[in-house]
Amino acid sequence: MSDRGVRMVMLGRQGAGKGTQCVRLSRHYDVPHISTGDMLRAAVKAGTELGRKAGELMAAGSLVPDDLMIGIVDERLAQPDAVGRGYILDGFPRTVAQAEALAEITASRPLDLVVDLDVPTEVVVERLAARRVCRDCGANYSVDAPPASDWTCDVCGGPVVQREDDTPEAIAKRLAEYEANTAPLVDWYRERGLLETVDGTGPADEVTERLLAVVDARRGG
Ligand code: AMP
């Protein structure tokens, strides 16, 4: 574990491996992994007002409105763990309006870096179609790397299923959404000197090594 935290954003197409890599980095730097997708899925499951507003949009592969998302993230980043050591933001920002709001929220404690985890579209389409997740804890599996026993999560024992938005139609919609709304953030952050592009292809352990090297260089070891 590292003695210093980090404040970072992870960008990348759906299926680039953001979830898996963010969990690893979050352990290494001892900072919370803040996934807006996970927060929304928890709200849908709990049947809260937010969950009712977000559920249908998510199932269709559409984005949840900016003002809702900005409010959620603003509140989460004000928690003591994030203020104290930092965080890894996964799934936010997704639009330029969200990035502008994040810059304001973090004005007194700016981001160390933004990583674009780069995996070509053809590869992510294959990965998404094969992806399976634990409905209870969100752990990631695939049809090629299933849990040890009968689609029961190795971590928590929950049911391992296909995500509702990993159908071919919703995958196509989400990738188009990414190109239209989120890909422009790569240039937006490059212009601000915060961007690092990391090759997300190949074995997960190698991708982790690449990420650690880039993050350590940015935050000064
Ligand atoms: P993810 O798990 O990051 O792929 O997010 C799943 C779904 O949650 C997305 O397809 C959106 O419907 C919604 N969502 C998550 N984060 C955001 C965000 N920052 N802005 C808008 N919608 C979001």
pLDDT 10s digit of each residue in the chain, 221 long?
A: 557 899 999 999 999 999 999 999 999 999 999 999 999 999 999 999 999 999 999 998 899 999 999 999 999 999 999 999 999 999 999 999 999 999 999 999 999 999 999 999 999 999 999 999 999 988 889 999 999 999 999 999 999 999 989 988 989 999 999 999 999 999 999 999 999 999 999 999 999 999 999 999 998 75
Q: What is the CA(3)–ligand 1 centre distance, in A?
A: 31
Q: How confident is the model at residue 214, as a pLDDT?
A: 97
Whether the CB of 40 sits within 6 Å of ligand 1: yes
Residues in the chain: 221
Tell me the sheet residues that pair with 7.
87
Q: What is the CA(220)–ligand 1 centre distance, in A?
A: 31
Residue 207 in tokens: 């991708």
Q: How confident is the model at residue 164, as a pLDDT?
A: 86
Q: What is the CA(89)–ligand 1 centre distance, in A?
A: 12
Pairing of strands 160-161, 6-11: unpaired
Please confirm, yes or no, whether 94 is among the known catalytic residues.
yes
Q: How confident is the model at residue 12, as a pLDDT?
A: 96
Q: How confident is the model at residue 221, as a pLDDT?
A: 53
Q: What is this structure's pTM?
A: 0.90
Q: How far apart are CA 132 and CA 138, in angstroms?
A: 9
Instruction: Among 63, 162, 182, name the best residue to mutate to test ligand 1's pocket (greatest count of ligand atoms within 8 A of Cβ).
Output: 63
Q: How confident is the model at residue 58, as a pLDDT?
A: 94
CB 118 within 8 A of CB 197: yes
What is the residue extent of each domain of the chain? 7-212
CB 208 within 8 A of CB 24: yes
Q: How confident is the model at residue 9, as a pLDDT?
A: 98
Please confirm, yes or no, whether 174 is among the known catalytic residues.
yes
Q: How confident is the model at residue 2, as a pLDDT?
A: 59
Q: How confident is the model at residue 3, as a pLDDT?
A: 72
Q: Could you say which architecture CATH assigns to the domain 7-212?
A: 3-Layer(aba) Sandwich (3.40)
Sheet holding 140-142, edge to edge: 140-142, 131-134, 160-161
Instruction: Among 94, 95, 131, name the best residue to mutate to test ligand 1's pocket (greatest count of ligand atoms within 8 A of Cβ).
Output: 94
